[in-house]
Structure 1
Amino acid sequence: MTKEKVRNHCNSCGHNTWHDVEGMHSYTHNPDEYHCMVEHAVVKCRGCDLVSFRKVVHEYDAAYPTDDGEWKVPLTVDIFPKQDKGNLDTRYLPDIVDRIYEETCNAYRDGARTLSGIGFRATIEAICNDQEIKGKELSTRINNLASKGLISKKDSIRLHSIRFLGNDAAHDIKTPSRKSLDAALIIVEHLITTVYILDKESKGKLDEIIQKFEKFEDLLTNKLDGYNSGDEFPLQKYLGKDIRLLSGSIKSVESKLDEKIGKGEFKLLSFGKKAKYLDSSDELRHYVVA
């Protein structure tokens, strides 16, 4: 006997798939009270065999005619376990941010939309607290997240939208729409990813711009291991392709390096001649390997 099939969200596959109906029970409410039919079904995904519970309410009293001359009966579908909300790996998050984010996602998953709106706003507050962002009002703290360089100006504009959403939920008891909360979740997860996850995941795997002179010293020291004592070249030769990692002008880096060599604080190089190198248009400072 061929089993009945339905389109149903699968938490394992992450999208709607065909499900076999393994068993079903239905009943109809008293039409004199509210005419509707409720179906309970056990369904199994045809893709991964995950079993879930499906409840469908056919609301006959809310039926309405369509342009095709047919009656449309609204359906309310609930799936259990409910669809997970929030997919971030939270291992890099501080406890306070992890806790607020998880509680908010759980509230959203369980349909507590007003609490979810408040929770997304609270998640931003928690991040500001963890990052020691100053400001009496959240509006100021969001702007300071951008001025501190943790997020972009465009990101801060999006966070203000979540601030509005959270304020409306908390002060006006205004329930956000599902679409608003879906957008808020994306924005908050982008914030968390930017502040906590990207640097941890990319460290050691991708080339990074060098912003501190100490990091430049480490790079130069490693590069000099490939040269012999007495070799004399400009800094560009020693650095090679990795010169692109310098933040700002190489002249400012050279100036700082010259200062440290002059004070005897960087002893791997000494001053050499100043001359053109290969086809350079200008004379370049050369350095002699110690």
Structure 2
Amino acid sequence: MKKLGEKVYCSKCKQKTNHHILLTYSQESNSTDDFHWHAEYHIVQCMGCENICFVYQYGDEDIWDYVDGQRAWVDDFTVYPEEPKKESVESKLFDKMFKIKKKDFRNAPESIQNLYNQIVESLKMGHDILCAAGLRTLIEGICVQLKIKKGYLYRPDGSKIPDEEDIIRKHDSLGGRIFELYDRNLIIFPQALILQKVVKFGNDAVHRMETPSYYTMISILDITEKVLYDIYELKNHKLLKDEKSDE
């Protein structure tokens, strides 16, 4: 049996393999035509797994490539079933951008909701610097709205950090105020640690014009939305209201 002139995708082997030609139907232009072409329709069999598929082979005077440094006419081979297309990183990001949807935090102050909406729009538009800076501003806005002015600083292991005088005291920095959210049981400790990183990302965006990757920004937004939900929505959950009415 004659071998197909090019490796094509085998749906069973999941890769391009050599194929035997079982049957061929051919067509071609007339010798008197201005444009010359040829086409072959093959039923082929994988030389590895013996799977059967269909291949369309086509060539004309406009299809050429350099072979061993010399210009040569080549054929296009199209196999059916076709090889699955690999989704590029760019297309994945593009799809992800349009899947981002704003959430409605009904119990959050209007200023917090509006800022959150602007952050989501910035991310969808690819304005990563504005998004990172906005997330930092949102965290500070939450602290301001809850009248949180100071808080202890913590190490990742949960121990408190003393100041330069080796005294454990509250700080009015945004880092301290974030940990005060934790101390007031409004967020959990891992969230507080992550929000510290969000603040750093925002600072880097404003002062160094640097931002994390798009996927990191998506992850940060997810965590920030969880924080907004825990602080403003969870205490007003329908099941908690039903529990009170049952008493």
- Per the normalisation by structure 2, the TM-score is 0.50
- Per the normalisation by structure 1, the TM-score is 0.43
